[in-house]
Structure 1
Amino acid sequence: MQCLTGPQPPRPAIPRKEPPMESPILPKPLRQGLSKAQLTKETLLKNAKKEFLSHGFQGASLRRICASAGVTTGAVYFFFQNKEDLFSQIVAPTASGLAALGRELTETEYASPDLGPACDLRLMEFLYCHREEALLLLEHSAHTRYETFPGELYAQMRQTFLLFFKRYGREDADPELIRILVEMRMKGFLEILKGDYTMEQALTLTRQTGIYADGGFRQLAATMKTEQPMDKN
């Protein structure tokens, strides 16, 4: 991780390993030429995403989804097994892409700490491009097959923080401290993601909060070298 000040040079390029993702909801130009059945499924996915974002998985109503889509409830079961299958088809590509990207960025940043800012920006680019699906996964996936996804992502970040503390000579870093730091970092990403920002604004805020976080981490690591481990009793 690297603190940046003043005018910024182009950020370092990181090789992109993740395969291209195909969103289940197609852009308008690509919907031309679809069959009536394909258009119906597309409309259901679009309206279901809005419903899940507004009411969460449990509170979402198939009746409302179908009413918004202008179809009968029977149409849902023609394309999807149930409400959870509908939710899963919306978020599955984003879930697999985000998990793969998280692993890649962890490896990249640990091997080359100076690429930390670029890794943060890569992550925000991905989240921004899949904003609604990411919010469904991180805040509205309870009682679905993806309900453990946020915890798994946070665990991956905690492991990354632990590796960096070890690199700076504190293998005994308090797990509770790491948990709090990860919660703070993810809350920052979510606040940016939920804000009414352009991509450029979101990336600027990510860079600025990253500078703050990086400086704080380095100062904390330096301070901890002279401190005794916290008594956990």
Structure 2
Amino acid sequence: MTKRLARANITSVMNDERRKQTEQKLIRSGRAEFLEKGYAKANLRDICKAAGVTTGAFYFSFENKEALLAAILEPVIADYQRMCSVFAKREEDDPGTADDNERQMMEYLSAHRTEAIILMEKSAGSRYEGFKSQIDMQMQSAFTSYFSKFMGVSPDAELIRILVSMRL
């Protein structure tokens, strides 16, 4: 490898590392801004100022404010949906796992408290504002499946709606 090629490779690695650090700063600042003000009222200039970067640097990392929100929420959403799927199947196969499933879900949500609050209460104006309704529909489906399996009949839809609305 020539010296010029080696230097170019090192420069590229350094630039990648700097870009990743900038993205992490923006994610931390964005998380705080979205939690405080909600997505709709969050200001990119304030996010950039708190991160110590220019708005130009922001646009090297993220297309727009919603792309930043996605970087914050998508990993949590993916984990949450995977856990719900695994836990629903596990609980349907063995109802005795319910308490452990709930404990694990509460631990996960506690560890990702900020993201959960942003997602469920502070995402108005973004593509995530309907996520709470999606959760309700998934829970209705899970309750219906569970009741059908263990009671042998389809439960009353109004009962399912009430159970979902009562969840913590």
Q: Return the TM-score normalized by structure 2.
A: 0.82
Q: Displacement of 1:80 after TM fit?
A: 0.3
Q: Which residue of 2 aligns with 1:124?
A: 106
Which of 142, 156, 169 is the aligned partner of 2:151?
Answer: 169
The residue type equivalent to 1:106 in the other structure is A
Provide Cα deviations, 1:34-87, integer angstroms capped at 9, x if missing partner.
833332221111010000011111111111111212222222111100000010
Q: Displacement of 1:154 after TM fit?
A: 1.7
The residue type equivalent to 1:166 in the other structure is S
Extract unaligned runs of 5+ from structure 1: 1-33, 189-233
The residue type equivalent to 2:57 in the other structure is A
Q: Matched residues in 2 for 1:112 and 1:91: separation? A: 31
Q: 2:126 matched to 1:147?
A: no
Secondary structure in 1 matching 2:63: coil
Q: Matched residues in 2 for 1:38 and 1:167: separation? A: 48
Task: Answer whether contact 1:41 1:79 (CA < 8 A) is retained.
Answer: yes
Higher helix share: 2
Task: Answer whether contact 1:165 1:173 (CA < 8 A) is retained.
Answer: yes
Which of 158, 172, 175 is the aligned partner of 2:140?
Answer: 158
Q: Return the TM-score normalized by structure 1.
A: 0.60
Q: 2:79 matched to 1:80?
A: no
Q: Which residue of 1 aligns with 2:53?
A: 71
Task: Answer whether contact 1:99 1:153 (CA < 8 A) is retained.
Answer: no
The residue type equivalent to 2:128 in the other structure is Y
Q: Matched residues in 2 for 1:130 and 1:183: separation? A: 22
Provide Cα deviations, 1:107-159, integer angstroms capped at 9, x if missing partner.
11011011111111121122122221222222222332323322222211111
Which of 72, 77, 93 is the aligned partner of 1:95?
Answer: 77
Q: Which residue of 1 aligns with 2:28?
A: 46
Which of 19, 36, 54 is the aligned partner of 1:37?
Answer: 19
**Count of matched residue pairs:** 153
CA RMSD of aligned residues (A): 1.8
Secondary structure in 2 matching 1:143: coil
Q: Displacement of 1:91 after TM fit?
A: 0.8
Provide Cα deviations, 1:9-35, integer angstroms capped at 9, x if missing partner.
xxxxxxxxxxxxxxxxxxxxxxxxx83
Q: Matched residues in 1 for 2:139 and 2:80: separation? A: 13
Extract unaligned runs of 5+ from structure 2: 1-15
Q: Displacement of 1:172 after TM fit?
A: 4.5
**Change in 2 beyond 3 A, CA 1:66/1:117:** same
